[in-house]
Amino acid sequence: MLNRTSSPTVQVKMLLLAVLTALPMVAQAHTYLLPTNGAELIGQKSSIRIQATKSLSDIAIDSQVGFDALYSANPGFITESIPTGSNLSLPTQLILPDVKREGIVINLPELRLYYFHSDKKRVSVYPIGIGKSGWETPLMDSSISQIRANPSWTPPESIRQAYLEDGIVLPRSIPPGPDNPLGSHALRLGDTNILIHGTANPRGVGRRVSSGCIRLYNAHISELVSLVSHGTKVKIINQPIKWANQEGTHYIEAHKPLAGNTPPSTDAQRKHSLHHGFRRAQRVAGSNARKQAEKFAYALQTKRRLFTGLPLRVK
């Protein structure tokens, strides 16, 4: 059973193509109508009641949301055993990143990919997996240079060596099929080796576990491929804290900052990105709004309640 509650303010009209009650599989992304009044908050709060005991990973896969997003939104649960009857919040309300609304935008700290439709009226949002520590997904401005269906995978020598250090010998090439790590489709970014692709391991979606590429559920990459084309712009950003003004009510949405210390995610850049949302508050609503948002965020951080990944009303 899915229970929905309205947000505390009047919500923008929203089109949810993903029907959350159709568990255990939701094929499509959440697709929302973009606000036309300058608002940044989209979607509605939602929750799900667990009908049978299962792990948080299985629930994330069943509902096609990211693992970290589901975990952060529901602190206190033992991830390997969510008991029957539990109510879990689903990350279906969010603040749009502070970026030009075009093409693909990937915000690494929130583990989400946004596709802004060419009609400039809709945005589709997909959970993603990204690079692990030491193999960080780089920030970039790029575009799609190659689209492959049923791709084979030829592991780069760097990845083969990394696996070899763990005693795993990778084959020179893995053909298309259910065991292929690239899943059903792959999109190449510019002249790099960074791919947006499907996966043979859906448990990696919504986690920082890849070797630098961006992985989606196979149903989602299949949908995304149908929407994009060669030359579609791709922007990878680092905005752990987002801020929104919704009809005079202010919200922040906070995600854990990226770990690691390899370019372009230097310590200075991470610190800079952490305050991005607060700077936007000042730009849009003035210095008092920034001070209020910072005070609210720091109070939550002290109580270890800041990084929920959910929009929180600034009080």
- Which residues participate in catalysis according to the annotation? 197, 213
Q: Cis peptide leading into 202, omega within 30 of 0?
A: no
Q: What are phi and psi of 282, to 5 degrees?
A: -70, -40
How far separated are the first and last CA of the chain, in Å rounded? 31
Single-letter amino acid code for the residue at 294: E
CB atoms within 10 A of CB 155: 17
CB contact set of 22 (below 8 Å; sequence gap of 6+): none
Residue identified by tokens 């036309």 is 36
Q: Label the pairing between strands 45-49 and 87-90.
A: antiparallel
The HSE-up count of residue 90 (CA atoms within 13 Å, CB side) is 27
Taking phi over 0 as left and psi of -120 to 50 as alpha, with beta for the rest, 220 belongs to alpha
CA distances from residue 217 to 26, 222, 251, 265 in whole angstroms, order as listed: 10, 9, 29, 26
